[in-house]
Amino acid sequence: MPTTTTQIQLLQPDDWHLHIRDGEVMKDVLADTARQFARAIIMPNLKPPVTTVSLASAYRARIEANLKSLGISDFTPLMTLYLTDNTSADEVRKAKAEGIAAFKLYPAGATTNSDAGVSDIKRCHSALEAMQAVGMPLLVHGEVTSSEIDIFDREAVFIDQVLEPLRQNFPELKIVFEHITTKQAAHYVRDAQTGGKNILAATITPQHLLMNRNAIFAGGIRPHNYCLPVLKREEHRLALIDVATSGNSRFFLGTDSAPHAKGAKEAACGCAGCYSAFNALGLYAEAFESVGKLDKLEGFASLFGPDFYSLPRNTKTVTLVKQAQNIPAELPLGDATIVPLRAGETIAWTLA
């Protein structure tokens, strides 16, 4: 009889794509992440966006103040800058010197708070050249924004129109294709030739490993399952599961946990973003267990990310136990509330 795993131990993971916002709500979401992860790549899509080293330093200081008030001393935010048409090569070099972890490319209008994003990547030539020269990773939101392109095709079209030419022009640039959602993206990253160099990777969210697009319309419209890039067909989910659980070091954990207050999601024009931070590790464990690959979770969650970013691996360990955790219907978010992923249901794995 096959034995069932009831407990797994991992080196402590990091979250390589996270939104924690700013102001009053930040401390509510930070605590959830810091319970599970040692470090997180902090997305810069604030209003206004974090476009300079000095804005990032101020944001880091606000994060550190919140961590202090929460009594958390073992969590490190890894700061990013928001790339614009006007980002200079000097700002890139300064960012490198100041320990900024990456730049983020949002095609203008692609997602939440991306209006100040890049209108045409050709405008970023000198900044990209500097990133390539200093080894600064570029994190890409990989969707074209043209309204004529079907929303379910925008990621695949981005590969042909933007990503492949970008890689041709900057063959040494370190790139993370963020929150991939399609078979095309999974296979593109898996099969790309990089001359043996560790310069191309992708992050994958728990929702894209666990759900397909039916989840947005199950018995009625489900705003809390709506994020960008939007969930895709089952064949795409299966392709993501396949690469995530394959042990290929190009694929690692990035929750894209993106908090929006309940009222901003349950609205005539609801915001994009799933709040997975409450028990993101449990969700990933479910996804890996569903294909009998729990043994591949540690690489994905804890090893491949730091290796890509040339950061040391964590040394502490965490233990996940197979014990159903009830997920609250709502959680506090400043003066409002937030509805977490799986609200009112259970997650099969819990952090010990």
Residues that are catalytic:
256
Instruction: Mark 82-115 as b/e (b = at least 16 C-beta within 10 Å).
Output: bbbeebebebbbbbbeeebbbbbbbbeebbbbbe
Question: Which residues of this chain interact with ligand NCD, rule CB under 6 A?
Answer: 19, 45, 111-113, 141, 227-228, 256, 258, 272-273
- Cβ pair 303, 13 in contact under 8 A: no
CB closer to ligand NCD out of 8 and 20: 20
State the binding partner of 66 from ligand NCD, Zn ion, none, CB within 5 to 8 A by kind.
Answer: none
As a whole number of angstroms, the distance between CA 7 and CA 212 comes to: 27
- Residue closer to ligand NCD (CB basis): 19 or 250: 19
My answer on whether omega of the bond before 48 falls inside 30° of 0, hence cis, is yes
SS (H, E, C) 94-144: HHHHCCCCEEEECECCCCCCCCCCECCHHHHHHHHHHHHHHCCCEEECCCC
Choose between 226 and 349: whose C-beta lies nearer to ligand NCD. 226
- H helix intervals, 203-301: 206-210, 234-244, 262-265, 280-289, 297-298
Rounded to whole angstroms, how far apart are CA atoms 204 and 283? Answer: 12
Assess 28 for contact with Zn ion (CB under 5 A): no
Q: How far is the CB of 112 from ligand NCD (least distance, A)?
A: 3
> Which of Zn ion, ligand NCD, none interacts with 306 (beta carbon under 5 to 8 A by kind)?
none
Smallest distance from Zn ion to CB 43, Å: 5
Q: How far apart are the first and last CA of the chain?
A: 27
Please, which of residues 234-263 interact with Zn ion by CB under 5 A? 256
Cβ-in-10-Å burial (0-12, 13-18, 19+) of 37 comes to: buried
- Residue 141 interacts with, from Zn ion, ligand NCD, none (CB under 5-8 Å by kind): ligand NCD
Copy the structure tokens of residue 119: 């209108």
For the bound state, the minimum distance from the C-beta of residue 295 to ligand NCD, rounded and expressed in Å, comes to 29
Judged by beta carbon distances under 5 to 8 A according to partner kind, the member of ligand NCD, Zn ion, none in contact with residue 45 is: ligand NCD
Cβ distance to ligand NCD smaller for residue 8 or 258: 258
Instruction: Output the smallest distance, CB 300 to Zn ion, in A.
Output: 18
Nearer Cβ to ligand NCD (112/350): 112
- Distance between CA 273 and CA 207 in Å, rounded? 10
Nearer to ligand NCD, 84 or 350 (CB): 84
d(CA 295, CA 5): 10
Give Cα 173 distance to the centre of its chain. 19
Q: Shortest distance, CB of residue 65 to ligand NCD, whole angstroms?
A: 22
The minimum distance between CB 4 and ligand NCD, in angstroms, equals 34
Contact set with Zn ion (CB under 5 A): 256
